[in-house]
Amino acid sequence: MSKENWILLLFILLLLGIPLTESRFYVFMGTDILILGLFAVSLNILLGYTGLVSFGHATYFGIGAYTCALLMKKASVPFPLALAAAAALGAVSALVIGFFCVRLTKVYFAMLTLAFSQIVWAMAFKWNSLTGGDNGFVGVPFPEFLDSRERFYYFTLGVVAVSLFLLHKVVNSPFGRILTTIRENPERTEFIGIHVKLFQLVAFMISGVFAAMAGALFGIFNHSVFPDILFWPASAEVLIMTLLGGIYSFFGPVVGAAVLLFVRMQVTSYTEHWPVILGFTLAFLLFFFPGGIMGFLQARFARPGGNR
């Protein structure tokens, strides 16, 4: 097995072992990291692989969270069905929003994703009767067969592992290669006969589906859903996570999520000035480590003819 696969196996064993430490806290952190890691990887499909900067990715996370939670609480829909519905709605909204966004490029693309995310946020914030408005939505029921923290952790691990496996297949498929070609040079790709906008839209939808699933898991995990997860700093936060981990690496965003959550938790225990530390870290990253953590590690330990 290659070196990378050994490391992966090690990680998986580590993750499987976390509940055995009997620490409610580690299980809590672990679940959080897995969910946000999936969210960040879904963003990276757009960012790292297709070269599209979305400033509104929190939209799909939020849609997934609200859909799943609302269906389970208000309509007593069983969890697997609610989860599927969340993913489906994520796909549909990504299709609609993406359709308009991919017609633009660069800054305008980013601004439109931001505009749409604010619209969805405003809807969640104001639609008191459906979403609970600014109070959010508390008392999301835990699915019965998952009613312990540890079981939910294993379930999340399973879902995230399967999702990452699927996404990995996607990015290493011919479709995935076309995406990276588009990222490198959209005009040239258009010349060789690829319908660039269509591919971008499909990438948009795929990332929307998995972001929605992450959101659905999050809603259950948190027992509550608030409109803040749709507010634009949430989109900025997942961008930072992805960048921190490394946008040119598949697992980079997961690493970024883990590091960010861990550091934030540590720092907030000592000081209330977390935002300034985040700001400096981000600036530092942008100037000196554009490839993120994984980029840095890969450069350090690169083999000749290195790969991804």
Partner 1 sequence: MKRFLRIASLCSLVLVFAFSAYGAGEPIKVGFPAILSGGGALFGQPASVGAEMFVREFNAKGGAMGRPIELIIRDCGNTPEEATRVAREIILKEKVDFLVGGFTASQGVALSEVAKTEKVIYIAPVSKTTAMTDPGKLHPYVFRAAANTNTEGRSAAVFMAKHPWTKIATLGPDYEYGQMVTKAFVEWMKKIKPEAQIVHQAWPKLGETDYTPFIAPLLAAKPDAAFLSLWGGHFVTFSKQAKPYGFFEKVKVVAAGEGGSPETGMALKDDLPLGITTNAYDVFYYPDTPEHKSYVERLKAYTKQEYPPSWAITGYISVQFLAEAIQKAKSTDKMKVIKALEGLTINTPIGKQTMRAKDHQATRGQVWGTTAKVPEYPFPILRPVEYIPADDLMD
Partner 2 sequence: MPDPSFLLLQSLNGLTYAMFLFLIASGLSLIFGILGILNFAHGSLYMLGAYFTHQFVSLFIDAPGQFWWAVLFASLTVAALGAVIERFFLRHLYAREELYQLLFTYALVLILAEFAKMVWGTGQFSVTRPALLKGAVPILDQYFPTYNLVIIFLGPCIAFTFWFTLLRTRWGRKIRAAALDREMLSSLGVHVNRLFTVVFFIGAWMAGLGGGLVSPVSAIVPGMDVEVIINAFIVVVIGGLGSFWGTFLGSLIVGQVYALGILVFPRLSLAFIYVLMALVLIIRPWGLLGRPLQR
One residue of 6, 11, 28, 99 binding partner 1 per CB under 8 A: 28
**Does position 94 bind partner 2 by CB under 8 A?**
no
d(CA 150, CA 208): 27
Report yes or no: 55 and 232 within 8 Å, Cβ to Cβ: yes
Write each residue from 87 to 126 as x if it is in contact with partner 1 (CB under 8 A), else as -, in one continuous string: ----------------------------------------
Smallest separation, CB 248 to partner 2 (Å): 12
Report yes or no: 277 and 240 within 8 Å, Cβ to Cβ: no
| Sites for partner 2 among residues 262-291 (CB under 8 A) | 273, 275-276, 278-280, 282-283, 286-287, 290
71: tokens are 């269906």
**Does position 191 bind partner 2 by CB under 8 A?**
no
268: tokens are 């907030």
103: tokens are 């017609």
Name which of 115 and 161 has its Cβ closer to partner 2.
115
Helix residue spans in the chain (DSSP H): 3-17, 24-44, 58-74, 79-101, 106-126, 128-131, 149-171, 174-184, 186-191, 196-222, 232-245, 252-270, 274-288, 292-300
- Residue at token pair 């939020």: 62
Write each residue from 135 to 174 as x if it is in contact with partner 1 (CB under 8 A), else as -, in one continuous string: xx-xx-----------------------------------
Name which of 232 and 296 has its Cβ closer to partner 2.
232
Smallest separation, CB 80 to partner 1 (Å): 22
Smallest separation, CB 56 to partner 1 (Å): 17
